[in-house]
Structure 1
Amino acid sequence: MPLSEHEQRMLEQMERALYAEDPKFASALEGNGLRTYTRRRVYQAVAGFLVGIALLMAGMVAQLIWISVVGFLVMLGCAVLAVTGWRKAPKPGETPKGHTRRRPVRRKRTVMERIEDRWQRRRDEQGH
């Protein structure tokens, strides 16, 4: 449900006050830090996946099964971390849950909302 104009003004005032009082904390709430953290986590998982491949190959060359199994498990764990980190990463311009934005963003209307609007317009046109 969108905010009323009064609520939007109040939110903007609160955000300005927060920026004036503690700009470092306010900028941390914008999500750039979280986006950087999740991106770094994905890169670390990819690097770990490559280490897992190296362990798997080294175990096969040395004919030590346990090293290959450890390599496979490292690959599996890093793949899971990369996928979950990628899904949880906020998109550019998106705010993480629980964080506020500087400017309110217009919400895209769903297909059903657009169909309902068209239906209402047709009913209004027929009635007048």
Structure 2
Amino acid sequence: MPLSEQEQRALDEMERSLYQNDADFVSAVNPRKGKPNYRMMVIGVLVAVAGIIALLTGVIIQQPLVGVLGFIVMFVGVLLFVSPSRSSDADLDADAAPASSSNSTKRGASFMDTLNERWDRRQDGRG
């Protein structure tokens, strides 16, 4: 069931407000900003391959400790490969977020008041 034009506008406005007011949510939804960190990806692949080699070596020589250590090294390599890049842009955004929070509180309150008024008008129109 498609949304009406008014509902779509309200949803877009709520989304914009959420992105402006909640820096933690934005960083959770969009952890990668800018270019991927290719150096960490290459290091992750190399570590994972070394872990696979150690794992297979442990299986071949029948030494469980070597196999377990190889698995751990392989797992760390995969984590390095898929981990989000940490750029200076993310640090700047985190530092800038508290400065704008006092401004956004006023906007957030008026936005919620507007939504509450719309809801009340809608309910009165039906009843």
Is the shorter-chain TM-score for this pair beyond 0.5, marking a shared fold? no
Task: Name the structure where helix makes up a greater proportion of residues.
Answer: 2
Under a length normalisation based on structure 1, what TM-score does the superposition of the two structures give? Answer: 0.40
